Structure 1
């Protein structure tokens, strides 16, 4: 009886997960399908998920329809520089907060953590005024430089991850004559690589998909990020019902996310598994 009820329960869970997967992946499939249709096929009834014929011309047209290439370059510069340098500084801060004897480190950490409760709209105008006085508007500096000093969410996550690492390992490394940077490089970093990978991809996705901050600071078309270019595509070509062009540009914008996930998927799964075991 238990085996039968377990099978029924597993079957129900499988069906619910399958429905959820279909709901989540259907828009993605429709986006890719629309990008290889002609204008009339987009509005065909009943909808055709598989185009007939496949029209690949929009993937060559998007490069001349707007500053897509410069948008990709700007997004790559921002996302890569911030996530690589910011991840390094965040992991160093997490190591200091978790394992080093720093006066008032818990108070400092709580102050940093309390900044998460401040909504971005409340500091948006003061930040803009400050960066404007520095002459950083219409440049990538406001989107890059603040992130180089770390991410409090990543610091919190890595600090909690490091709390399970025995202090005896740190003390043994000190006895062997390792400096703090040596302990970080040879002991701490290898231990937290799965956690760093998980946070890295989340941060990269957040920066890559960010729309609010770039639209505040960037005005020139050649300085705009990819998300602003896609938004301008939508404004210009939706009126012409050229949805295949918009969807082709959106597919190109999605590819870096897929590449990052494929590269880091092993570390992300390890992080989730380890967190589940520790929990």
Structure 2
């Protein structure tokens, strides 16, 4: 083997080794959580850490449900994340079409204004938004959790604009010649051809909404209105020093499974959305 080939093989082996170690370090906490969720609580800390349960059991889920309304938290998370995602898409998809395929005065200025909102730290808006929620008597309601989370769509508008701009102009020109108005162009030509991009944004939005923590802690006080993210924090705080790791890890596993399933189901669309497409104009 020549020196060049040996050097290339050596660097590749080192790279693969680094990637393997990094992957194991990333996956290990998840594997331990899954193992602890199905391991009897008294065995979790009594024995060395293992990556598989020795005596698998579903008792941790029942124990967690007897201590806290975890199934209600799960439903609350699904409900709020879904409505936030739908709200973002309802605003971002038409806006992306308008910026990508329509011409109107001030389009460029307005588009850059939308893009500029991406650099605005959302934490700065927490206090005025919280005051508005209290004054509107919406505190401790699902609306307080959902509505203020929807307008942060700068990235979504930009992404959808790029998706619509990547479509061939000839498609829209042919539709206009056939008498199709903007609405038909949007619904019958635009949306069907950018479904992978919409699916990708749906997953991104759902994951972001699912993981909302700080805002949920501020506006949701009733324990039956909490989401899994805020509920797990309450679970850990209420147990104190006598923390039961099995039920806590079972609840944590519930917070991971829905997002993972959605990602796996939409994986094909995400790959299509990220694959190189038509040239942008």
1:76 maps to 78
In the superposition, the TM-score normalised over structure 2's length comes to 0.90
Q: 1:169 maps to which residue?
A: 171
Q: How big is each residue's C-alpha offset from its partner over 1:224-274, in whole Å with a ceiling of 9 and x where there is no partner? A: 112111111111235213111100000111111111112101111222223
- Residues 143-152 or 204-213, more deviating: 143-152
Tell me what 1:230 maps to: 232
Q: Deviations over 1:201-220 (max 9, x none)?
A: 11100100110111111111
- DSSP 3-state at the match of 2:14: helix
1:48 deviation in Å? 2.5
Partner SS for 1:101: coil
Shift of 1:179: 2.0
Alpha-carbon distance between aligned partners in 2 of 1:277 and 1:198, rounded to the nearest angstrom: 20
**Structure 1 residues 74 and 160, CA, compared in 2 at 3 Å: closer, same or farther?**
same
Question: Post-superposition shift, 1:6?
Answer: 4.3
Question: Could you list the per-position Cα deviations for residues 157-196 of structure 1 after superposition, in whole angstroms to 9, with x for gaps in the alignment?
Answer: 1212333223332222111111212111221112222222
What is the CA distance between 1:147 and its match in structure 2?
A: 4.7
Matching residue of 2:112: 110
How many aligned positions are there? 278
- Stretch deviating more after TM superposition (94-103 or 42-51): 42-51
Residues 210 and 132 of structure 1, relative CA distance in 2, 3 Å threshold: same
Partner of 1:14: 16
- Whether the aligned pair in 1 keeps the contact of 2:145 and 2:220 (CA below 8 Å) is no
Say which of 261, 266, 269 aligns to 1:267.
269
TM-score by length of 1: 0.91
Structure 1 residues 176 and 276, CA gap change in structure 2 (3 angstroms): closer
Aligned partners of 1:254, 1:20: CA distance in 2, in Å?
20
Paired residues of 2:88 and 2:150 also in contact (CA < 8 A) = yes
Q: CA RMSD in A?
A: 2.2
Structure 2: runs of 5+ lacking an equivalent: none
5+ residue gaps, structure 1, are none
Alignment of 1:156-235 (within 5 A): 156-235=158-237
- Provide the residue aligned with 1:29 in structure 2: 31
- Kindly indicate whether the alpha-carbon contact (under 8 Å) linking 1:237 and 1:243 is maintained by their aligned counterparts in 2: no
2:43 aligned residue:
41
Q: Hey, what does 1:127 align to over in structure 2? A: 129
Distance 1:242 1:276 in 2: 54
Deviations 1:72-108 (A, max 9, x none): 2221111112212421321110000111012101111
Question: Are the equivalent residues in 2 in contact too, given 1:39–1:241 (CA < 8 A)?
Answer: no
Q: Is the 8 A contact 2:203 2:262 kept in 1?
A: yes
How far apart, CA to CA, are the structure 1 residues paired with 2:179 and 2:233?
A: 55
Is the partner of 1:37 in helix, strand or coil? coil
**CA–CA separation in structure 2 for the residues paired with 1:13 and 1:152:** 36
For residue 221 of structure 1, give the secondary structure of its aligned residue in structure 2: coil
